[in-house]
Amino acid sequence: MQYTFPENFWWGTAASGPQTEGVFEGDNKGDSIWDYWYKESPELFFNQVGPEKTSVFYEKFQEDIQLMKETGHTTFRTSIQWSRLIPNGTGEVNQTAVNFYNEVIDELIANDIEPFINLYHFDMPMKMQEKGGWESRETVEAYVAFAKVCFELFGDRVKKWFTHNEPIVPVEGGYLYQFHYPAIVDMKKAVQVAFHEILASAKAINVYHEMNLGGEIGIILNLTPSYPRDENNPEDVKAAKAADAFFNRSFLDTAVKGEFPSDLVEILSEIDVLPIIEEGDLETIKENTVDLLGVNYYQPRRIKAKESTTKLAEGPMPDDFFDNYEMPGRKMNPYRGWEIYEKGVYDILKNLRENYGNIKCYISENGMGVEGEERYVNDQGIIEDDYRIEFVQDHLKYVHQAIQEGSNVRGYHMWTCMDNWSWTNAYKNRYGLIAVDLDNNHKRTIKKSGRWFNELAKNNGFEA
């Protein structure tokens, strides 16, 4: 069967500044929380590989953009590192960084690849973290000032902006489950952090729209559908709804509808962890919704009614309201420990069509991390990653079905272009269309999936 996508569908990949750029002598970059955490606790990072040793995009971006062209990119998303552009989080702008980002943007455009630029990808400047990070109102204002600088510097050429990538992750990682710095467990702080991210996003959207730069601004959310163990069991359904409120609708409803889900407010009020809200905040959120939504999808969330009595923390946690459920016979990516459930992407798009005004959106991340890909190298030195091609095809079939039914989805970005550094996992799992050899001057080699992706983009679809 032939799967053909709409004209001008966006084909490309997503990456981020902190995961690709690296740190170099004379780049004048300030420390982010990742630079700091690695210096403090290198043992937490797989093979002790830190953010200064990422894929060196800072040096190789011209070569990399040629490889993007060779792999069919018409669009590419990355992020501007706040700690690179404004090393202290506020104040002086780093001209070396301005030159770098200008060159990257110009090089992409010269090669007919539209830049999609995100402003925050988990990389709080350490100077701001010392003042409380997202717990602090001061950070909200500093972030908005950073966003404005970006719009002023690059908004003449960049027409697709995003305020945050996966804003739920700093909440979960930093303040609930301890996989991002500051790695504490405090539900009240977690809620305040989420509120400040939501407010910062709305304020940045307001600034962008006031500047009349002729582009669009949105947010990128990792939407993880919450499926109840048993659709006919009211307790399972209620538990799935609670999980959905915490992890999806918290940011989705505020970004698209400008309001907080009432069931979430009720839960937070019940456990006495509502955030501090200042006068005018709710109006700001209400009046500054997104033009465009990026959807990251990797896995579903399977939920059942609360059965376990184990408490994850002394204080309240989202997990007090549901248990995770391992569905028998599920298909797994064994390396990442994630379920592969392709229909999830269709269910997300259907939900956006039916309940969120069919907002203009695109799949902004979807990908498969595999450990030990060198096992699949052929005689020509190419990684034959047929499993990745199959993964993408199987998800695109569902995206195609959603389009047939009227979904306003405009593109597909894979995570990621070239193997990149992935937080504490470093280079454990590889996701790229292009391999990066860390031991051989970061040599790039296009994988089989990269050649396939080029055909996909060229033909604006595939046959399967």
What type of residue sits at position 104? V
- The CATH number of 2-463, from 3.20.20.80, 3.40.47.10, 3.40.50.740, 3.90.105.10, is 3.20.20.80
What residues have CB less than 8 Å from 333, skipping those under 6 apart? 339, 340, 368, 369, 370
In contact, 267 and 318? CB cutoff 8 Å: no
Cα separation, 273 vs 207, whole angstroms = 30
Return the DSSP state at 276. Answer: P
Tell me if 277 sits within 8 A of 195, measured CB to CB.
Answer: yes
pLDDT on residue 312: 84
Preceding omega of 284 cis (within 30 degrees of 0) = no
Among 265, 266, 261, 267, CA closest to 321: 267
- 363-378 pLDDT, tens digit per residue, is 999 999 999 999 999 9
d(CA 277, CA 51): 35
Q: What is the pLDDT of residue 425?
A: 94
DSSP state of 245: I
Establish whether the linkage from the previous residue to 182 is cis, with ω within 30° of 0.
Answer: yes
Q: Amino acid letter at 64?
A: D
Where the chain has pLDDT below 50, the residues are: none
Q: Indicate if 287 belongs to the active site.
A: no
The domain ranges of the chain are 2-463
Interhelix angle for 168-175 vs 187-211, to 10°? 150
The pLDDT of residue 310? 84
Percent of the chain with pLDDT over 70: 100
- CA triplet 108, 114, 118: central angle to 5 degrees? 95
> What length does the chain have?
464
pLDDT score of 53: 85
pTM of the full structure: 0.97
Residue 161 token pair: 């902006």
Which of 172, 342, 365, 373 is flagged as catalytic? Answer: 365
Distances (CA, A) of 361 to 42, 221, 323, 393, 413: 38, 11, 30, 19, 12
CB 222 within 8 A of CB 228: no
